[in-house]
A and B are shown apart, each in its own frame.
Chain A
């Protein structure tokens, strides 16, 4: 079998915990050979390959739960503060360029300050800087400069998580017939 020229990058990126994004040639290649790569990652590492129209990433049963939870907290706080700031947070996540100072400001004045202080990855400016670098390494954000970044379509994983959670809670609260 002949492998594509992106094979190494695809495998390496996904194994590094990165998201492959719709505008990348590796992603286009991956989507075309989705079946092969799903089997490949399952057979080689027992990892599950997730492919949507916007992004692709790997998940494993031995999940990086702390990281994922901290990312969810980060998104929850950002969306909450953007909404409080009178902005359409979905538009902002889709199109806006964020400044680190703006994010810092949101965190410093957040009503969830106790939660922030108790979180190792988000507790202070330096931790948050490392955290944002981690988001960049995983292609959840794209750094435009040291001070500016945009969100990639990978943010949808965490938005979908919130939507599903809300629906689940609403169903739980509905009186059973």
Chain B
């Protein structure tokens, strides 16, 4: 007994998840293994194997299964999961459409019902062709965008390969099929048929035939518009996008190859500049090197007072010796004046008092012959009044 259509549709709706998985399995492997069917159904807790064959959704292929074409097409359509067809597969429509057109043109005045049938078939074939092209374009566009986003982290080299394959096997042949200016293209053939239908819809006297041609004409106009849109998507979006993927992937592959060992690859030649600007990154280093050569190795002492005058040191022994040799000295400060005049140096307070300390040496005997008689001694900043002091050797030593 034939199953009710609603029952089949309800079945598909109710068991959609396992059916979807079976569809994926067939799309992936080309058929559904018996074990895969059991595993998928088991996982969802359903025993639907019998129903799937009873409703003629699946058919046996040896011991395995596959979807019947009509169901596979339906699932493909509702899931929008088309496999792009090879353009040579689409090309078959060129032959069938051309043949139907040839027969229509030849038998336009022959048996009417055959002509009507041929016109209907021509419409159907054209529709299939147009849908095939549309599905292919959409699918390729989706796949290309997927490849571009690289969600599956496809290696750059694989990206180049895929992009190149799609260009070579799908996009360029599709473009050829849709090129209306190419005499052997299907688009060109449809354009020719549209012109013919246009002529007939105006010239044929028989009403029903005229209407059929008119219907075909408007259908072909619509189809040509659709095909033109597909062609534009191919040339304006798909081809540049996929070319871009290919180019970018090649460049990235190159850079990744380079980064593997950047010192093993000859790089582009450039001019070697010799000028060192003050903002050159080596400038600091060069300047440091320059200054370092002036650095003194030996120790230096810096007078922090910063007077710039060398410190005067009193060489007590030398002066004592000199005084001893001149003894007895009648007037100590007179001796001091003579001594200092010979040196012709600035005579300041420090020197005056330093010399005066010689008088306190224990081996000297001091005498003050005339206390009222005083000398004036000028130093750099002061004038001192000093008595006459006679100095002689102390008799004890």
Contacts and interface: CB of A to CB of B under 8 A. Distances in A.
B280 to A, nearest CB: 9
Contacts, number: 116
A16 interface: yes
Contacts of B247: 90, 163
B363 to A, nearest CB: 75
B273 A75 contact: no
Contacts of B270: 17, 57, 59, 63-64, 67-68, 71
A162 B273 contact: no
Contact of B275 (A16, A58, A170): A16
Contact of B267 (A58, A68, A86, A90): A68
Contacts of A75: 255
Interface string B259-272: 10011010111111
Interface string A137-173: 0000000000000000000011101111111011000
B221 interface: no
Contact of A162 (B254, B279, B281): B254
B252 interface: yes
Contacts of B256: 76, 80
B149 interface: yes
Contacts of A164: 254
A89 B248 contact: yes
Contacts of A170: 253
Q: Contact residue range for chain A?
A: 35 or more
Contact of B251 (A127, A130, A159, A169): A159
A158 B262 CA distance: 13
Interface in A94-131: 112, 115, 127, 130
A13 to B, nearest CB: 11
Contact of B271 (A17, A127, A167, A169): A17
B271 A14 contact: yes
Nearest to A78: B255
Contacts of A133: 279
Given A57-B271, A62-B272, A69-B262, A80 B244 contact: no
A115 B257 contact: no
A49 to B, nearest CB: 10
A77 B255 CA distance: 8
A167 B251 CA distance: 9
A165 B271 contact: no
Contacts of A58: 271
Given A15-B271, A64-B271, A72-B267, A162 B244 contact: no
Contact of A165 (B149, B258, B275): B258
A163 B271 contact: no
Contacts of B244: 88, 90
Given A72-B262, A88-B244, A79 B255 contact: yes
A79 B251 contact: yes
A162 B247 CA distance: 11
7 residue pairs, one from A and one from B, having the closest CB atoms: A162-B254, A166-B254, A76-B255, A64-B272, A59-B269, A165-B254, A17-B273
Interface of B: 149, 244, 247-248, 250-259, 262-263, 265, 267-273, 275, 279, 281
28 contacts: A47-B271, A58-B271, A59-B268, A59-B271, A60-B269, A61-B269, A63-B269, A64-B273, A67-B270, A69-B263, A73-B258, A75-B255, A76-B256, A76-B259, A79-B252, A89-B251, A90-B244, A112-B259, A157-B268, A158-B268, A159-B251, A161-B267, A164-B254, A165-B254, A165-B258, A166-B253, A166-B254, A166-B257
